[in-house]
Amino acid sequence: MQRRRLGGLEVSVVGLGCATMTPFYDEPDTAAAIETLQRARELGVDFLDTSDAYGQGKNEELIARAIKGHRDDYVIATKFGNLGIAPACRARTVGRNMSGPAARRACSASRPT
């Protein structure tokens, strides 16, 4: 797998978007999602993209389970600030909060336990 510099990080040129691995559009297969995350590492894909809005934090929890014992083998990009997805239009957020306190809460919630 080719690698690229991303700021001070080095990541695989192929990243894995994880939004659909938790309820977002439909009910996903958790076992298949975990298998996909682990297989990505075997293939050299170490750049994962997630958000605390995907499954209301469940996406980050799923990633934590899947990469347990191999955390240092991945670079995880997570987003924060979306307060929810409008039920009638999943592409629109209900609101945003990108304040300093919200950023600190999101980072605390994303830390592995």
First to last CA, the chain: 30
Q: Is 25 a catalytic residue?
A: no
- Kindly name the residue from 24, 47, 54, 74 that is annotated as catalytic: 54
> What DSSP designation does 69 have?
T
Strands 3-6 and 9-12: antiparallel
Given a contact cutoff of 8 angstroms between Cβ atoms, the answer to whether 63 and 50 are in contact is: yes
Active site residues: 54
